[in-house]
Structure 1
Amino acid sequence: MLDERDRKILDLLQIDAGISVSDLAGRVALSVSACSRRIQRLEDDGYIARRIAVLDRGRMGVPTTVYALVKTAHHSDEWIEIFRKAVSDIPEIVEAHRLTGNYDYILKVVLPRVEHYDVVYKAIVRKVELFDVSASISMEVLKSGTGVPVRYAQ
């Protein structure tokens, strides 16, 4: 069971996983050793899945985001695995979700420029049969992040 200090630790680590344990301990009113033990427990219990570096997309040369909505006529386990492998093998596809509603999947694609979307599109359709793909270009980021709310954690 998490307490408020655990939630605060998780919240602060989401903002900056590189924060020193001593700074983190000071912000949650714990000793360094007690804070370190809590972080280890949160990792062992699976609340912290991994620690990553979030790269600046502009500096990495991929400032453009395209969302591709995919429809398929196939829903077999075999087709899904082929599709999963196809999208996993394309580094520009940074997220893929199976959906309810009119489309089956949505892909978040990061690109150097809009024109590069055709390269990604062709890479997908070479590997897997699709019924329809509709792409939308993100014009402006209103909110972006990797953090999740911590208040619901048990």
Structure 2
Amino acid sequence: MQNARFAGALLTAALLTVAAVAGVIVQGGESTAQTRSSIGVDADPAGNTATSLGPIDSCVSVSTGDTFDVDILITDVVDLLAWEVYFVYDGSIISIVDHDVQMFQAANEGSNIFDLSEVLPDLDARYGLAAADLAQPPAPDSGSGVLARLTLKAVGPGLSPASLTPIDINDD
């Protein structure tokens, strides 16, 4: 008799588990798609701030000897704590003079941004930029804005690429 009760209880538990799982699977309701983040380069950062973006320009014209800024931007990110990218360019045409990662992530009160970027001067025309917010408690950033501003110098004539090789934007 005890075996029959145990088998009945086991069968009831199994059926309740199946019903619960089926309820989870079948249960309707609204769901939202996650917005996809993107990282890019804005060749003319006029109109950009740490937490808002103006028009995005894919090129800029400068003369040899000119110093100018470009922005590394992010759009529609959710819960960003750390990021890293490589900025790829033609070193015979432009050089990197400086960088500033105290932008989008630093806009939150209490942020503690740690710059993990490569030291300058960059010698291989593939400059690693990275930053992490070490604030305690963590305060991840969401939205769109400027991750970093690069100051470049035109060192020769020609057309240089200004592209990014993303590595990791969510520390995952």
With the length of structure 1 as denominator, give the TM-score of the two structures: 0.22
| Larger gyration radius, structure 1 or structure 2 | 2
Higher strand share: 2
With the length of structure 2 as denominator, give the TM-score of the two structures: 0.21
